[in-house]
Amino acid sequence: MKKQNLTLTIDTTKATGKVSPLHYGLMTEEINYSYDGGLYAELIRNRAFLDDAKNPVHWSSVGGATLALDTALPVNNVLTTSLRVEATAAGAGAANDGYWGFPITPNTNDKASFFARGSVGALTLTLQSRDGKTIYAQTRVSAVGEGWKKVTATLKTGNVAPTTDAIFTITAEKPGTLWLSLVSLFPPTWNNRPNGFRRDLMQLLVDLKPGFLRFPGGNYLEGNTIATRFDWKKTIGPLETRPGHPCPWGYRSSDGMGLLEFLLWCEDMDAEPVLGVYAGYSLRGEFVKPGPDLEPYVQEALEEIEYITGSTSTKWGAQRAKDGHPKPFKLQYVEVGNEDFFDRSGSYDGRFAQFYDAIKAKYPNLKVVSTVGNEQPASKRVKSRKPDALDEHYYRKAADFIRDSPTHFDRYDRKGPEIFVGEWAAHEEIAPWLPPSRNLPATPSMKAALGDAAFMTAMERHADFVTMQCYAPLFVNINPGGRQWRPDLIGYDALRSYGAPSYYALKLFSTSVGDELLKVSLAGAPLLASVTRQSKTGKLFVKYVNPGETPQAVTLQLAGAKSVKPEATVTTLAAPPDETNSMENPSKVISKTTKIGNIKPEFSYTFPPYSITLITLETR
């Protein structure tokens, strides 16, 4: 095929703007078993026996025991239900099937804890194969009595082969009745934090070097109803005081991933929190009228901000210290609600104004974000106050991103509110909300990654006022029943994980970005490129997307550069559009890095077809 002859001109004489240090970040919500069964490392499913009011789902009988839910003598007013185990013989008990199995790895210490009462002698805790023929780890704990007692133990595996073919059992030494509540099992976690996160998933996130984390997430923040919103006060403190709540995506959230855990997640990634506060609207249309009815929710948000940022002399800052983190967290942005363009009542303008005024009065330095952006009709946007930033969401075909990205943000008023692209993702052809998408892989192909990269060049070219952006959704459990939405950035089961081609596209962008924007133009083709400069070193990061089947021969002109280091680093992500990564082949589409020489202020480079390329240059 004939190569195209193009010229990419980069003006190095002056920066056109400063790159927001928070430009690349992460968005999270409880969808696709992102927290329970995902990042949150708890291995027991339905640990508090609250997932179903009638049956102990995900628990089964061992050795002929009879299982039933019991509310007669709860641990406390939060753990209202226990599992009653009628052990008819020695060795009888209960088994949990986990989140599609348990991760068994060699020489690993798993930490177990639970509340128990009864008279069945000593208890044996076991990780074993589903057929019971293989014991991976086992330990014995002393007998409990008639009153509730918290039991802790460690299960250590030996030199076993990794597998998810495992269940967890608690069995009795002798016949009798045993009651169990809040049964928990944690593998080793990131930074060894109690109640912490999966190490492999955290490593994938840390490797992206995100500047921020938007939480607790979109629909998850709102809930289907006001009563099932993310009620932050019910997510702090000891696990036995957290009741959990229904998640909008069809399953129950344990709330083990609470407000403090989100903040520690930020701390562990060296990222800033971007806090979403509940703003009086829920997914099924319930809303709170602005005025006195809304005031308790405004106060709830102010107290949440105090928990995050307040000194220990404040009520909620003191509570944070009691919960284990005396030092306040940094906070710059607070988002009022989520996707309030769906609110047909027209109440968002008034609700936003009430939150805006209260937040600014107490925390004048905080920036307040509206959830209705320029991608929505003008009639839906906030008019009574000027938001500091607008949250815009884009779920589009890859081809649409490629077509629109060269000019999309050029039409924005740079003097207007900052732009926070709080959710975006390219899909191949079928929209995520359409039923046929359920038949597609959970994670996207290279075709989607090319659309993602094209859109990232547009956002990066305007990273002075597109101050934050994040792909969504972040996670998906790939087991049957684990997915509610696609495409997703990172896939996993109980044991393994992998990044989609879009993950590697994002990593290429987020880990190589300067602090200055340079003007860039492309003669001969639509502009799918961006260039930033590291002011202290003069290093240039040139990002270029070739979404077509033909190689593109490009002359790069570094206008105004006196000299350039003769060697450059080239990182390329390239593959046919239909290729993708999977659990079976997690590295089929990943970036590769090489060196090229003979670099001058004007040089030529041929970008391969279907490619995303980073050229790192050093000017002098």
* 225 close to 282: Cβ distance less than 8 angstroms: yes
pLDDT of residue 414: 81
Q: Which of 454, 470, 332, 456 is nearest to 402 (CA)?
A: 454
pLDDT of the residue at 530: 98
Residue 363 has pLDDT above 60, yes or no: yes
Q: Which residues contact 587 (CB under 8 A, 6 or more apart)?
A: 498, 581
Mean pLDDT, residues 542-556 taken together: 97
Structure tokens at 399: 């081809």
Would 20 be classed as within a structural domain?
Answer: no
Q: Is 430 helix (H, G, I), strand (E, B) or coil?
A: coil
Checking phi first, is residue 46 left (phi over 0); if not, alpha (psi -120 to 50) or beta? left
How many angstroms separate the CA atoms of 544 and 528, rounded? Answer: 6
Question: Per-residue pLDDT averaged across 241-260, rounded?
Answer: 97
Least-confidence region, from 42-46, 317-321, 361-365, 376-380: 376-380
Could you tell me if 45 and 37 are in contact, meaning their C-beta atoms sit under 8 angstroms apart?
A: yes
Instruction: Indicate which CATH number applies to the domain containing 555.
Output: 2.60.40.1180
The CATH code of the domain that includes 403 is 3.20.20.80
Residue 527 has pLDDT above 50, yes or no: yes
Among candidate residues 510, 545, 573, the one where a domain is terminated: 510
Q: How far is CA 128 from CA 41, 45, 153, 157, in A?
A: 19, 16, 16, 10
Q: Are residues 244 and 337 in the same domain?
A: yes
Query: What's the chain's average pLDDT?
Result: 97
At 1 the pLDDT is 43
Residue 77: how many other CB atoms lie within 10 Å? 8
Is 2's pLDDT higher than 70? Answer: no
**Stronger pLDDT, 336 or 1, i.e. the higher one:** 336
302-346: per-residue pLDDT in tens?
999 999 999 999 999 999 999 999 999 999 999 999 999 999 999
Q: Tell whether 381 and 481 lie within a shared domain.
A: yes
Give kind and range of the element (H or E) at residue 572. Answer: strand 568-574
The encoded tokens of residue 568 equal 């450059």
Do 251 and 354 sit in the same domain of this protein? yes
The reply to whether 100 falls in a domain is yes
Does the pLDDT of residue 536 top 80, yes or no? yes
> Are 208 and 506 in contact, with CB atoms under 8 Å apart?
yes
- Parent domain of 92: 59-186
**Which class for 548: exposed (0-12), middle (13-18), buried (19 or more C-beta within 10 A)?**
middle
Q: Give the DSSP H or E segment for 175.
A: none
Helical ranges in 291-347 per DSSP H: 295-309, 315-322
What percentage of the chain reaches a pLDDT higher than 70?
Answer: 99
Q: For the chain, what's the residue count?
A: 620
Tokens of 157: 């595996």
In a domain, 608, yes or no: yes
In what order do the strands lie in the sheet containing 82-87? 66-70, 82-87, 176-186, 109-118, 149-156
Asked if 498 and 547 sit in the same domain, the reply is no
pLDDT score at 474: 98
Helix, coil or strand: residue 555:
strand
Regarding whether 230 and 166 lie in a shared domain, the answer is: no
Same domain as 135, residue 121? yes
Same domain, 233 and 308: yes
Other C-beta atoms closer than 10 Å to the C-beta of 344 total 8
Is 432 found in the same domain as 374? Answer: yes
- The number of CA neighbours under 13 Å toward the Cβ of 277 is 31
Give the residue-averaged pLDDT of 38-61: 98
Residue 269 structure tokens: 């990634």
How far apart, in whole angstroms, are the C-alpha atoms of residue 221 and residue 214? 11
- 479 and 535 together in one domain: no
Q: For residue 270, what are the β-bridge partners?
A: none
Which residue, of 473, 491, 510, is where some domain finishes? Answer: 510
Q: Does some domain include residue 51?
A: no
- Phi and psi at residue 418, to the nearest 5°: -60, 155
Shared domain check, 207 and 114: no
In a domain, 611, yes or no: yes
Q: Is 48 inside a domain boundary?
A: no
What domain count does the chain have? 3
| pLDDT for the residue numbered 283 | 96
- Assigned domain for 49 exists: no
Q: Are residues 499 and 526 in the same domain?
A: no
Q: Say what the pLDDT of residue 4 is.
A: 56
DSSP-derived letter for residue 106 is T
| pLDDT score of 5 | 80
> Which of 483, 510, 537 is the last residue before a domain boundary?
510
Residues 316 and 446 in one domain: yes
pTM flag (> 0.85)? yes
User: Is pLDDT above 60 for 83?
Assistant: yes
Closest to 405 measured CA to CA, from 464, 466, 446: 466
Tens-digit pLDDT profile for residues 378-423: 999 999 999 999 999 999 999 999 999 999 999 898 888 999 999 9
With respect to residue 436, please indicate whether it lies within any of the assigned structural domains. Answer: yes
Query: Taking Cα atoms as reference points, which of 131, 126, 256 lies closest to residue 194?
Result: 256
Query: What's the mean pLDDT in 355-359?
Result: 98
For the residues 370-378, what does the mean pLDDT come to?
Answer: 94
Residue 144, domain CATH: 2.60.120.260
pLDDT of residue 217: 87
